[in-house]
Amino acid sequence: MDDIGTAFGTRLRLLLELADERQVDLAKFLNVAEATVSRYANGRIPDDIGTLTKIADHFRVELDYLIGRTPNTDEEKEVDILGAEWRATARLAKKLGIGPSALAPAIRFLADLQQSKRRED
């Protein structure tokens, strides 16, 4: 597997996790077999640019990010910072039709507030 395939598979798996989606959900969206999405998640890049574009649009990321041409997104960095809260953030962002990073500052603020409250108690 080449570097682009490795990056694509890794980032696709991360995006699925952040969006709290399963491979079967993406397969239905793309109108392909679940096994096809499994191959994508393992680093096989789709044969046509239309499918790549559809995946990028679905997760609200740039094509360059999806194939590893740009550095990690804020979403990836926030996973480490926010931990378990990130999944809930991603689900809420998806319902609102925005990228998860748009809600991250609010979640971070609330987590900091909660931590300072614990110190006071």
Q: Identify which of 35, 61, 49, 44 has the alpha carbon closest to the alpha carbon of residue 10.
A: 44
pLDDT at 35 over 90: yes
Q: What is the reported pLDDT for 103?
A: 67
* Structural domains of the chain in order of their starting residue, each with its CATH number: 1-71 (1.10.260.40), 72-121 (no CATH)
pTM score, two decimals? 0.62
Q: Identify which of 77, 80, 105, 75 has the alpha carbon closest to the alpha carbon of residue 90.
A: 75
As a whole-number percent, the residues of the chain with pLDDT over 70 amount to 74
* Helix 3-18, helix 85-96: angle, nearest 10: 80
Q: At 3, is the pLDDT very low, low, confident or very high (cuts 50, 70, 90)?
A: confident
Q: Which is higher by pLDDT, 50 or 62? A: 50
The answer to whether the CB of 82 falls within 8 A of the CB of 111 is yes
pLDDT, tens only, 75-108: 555 444 444 556 666 677 777 877 666 666 776 6
In the block, tokens 């991360």 appear at 14
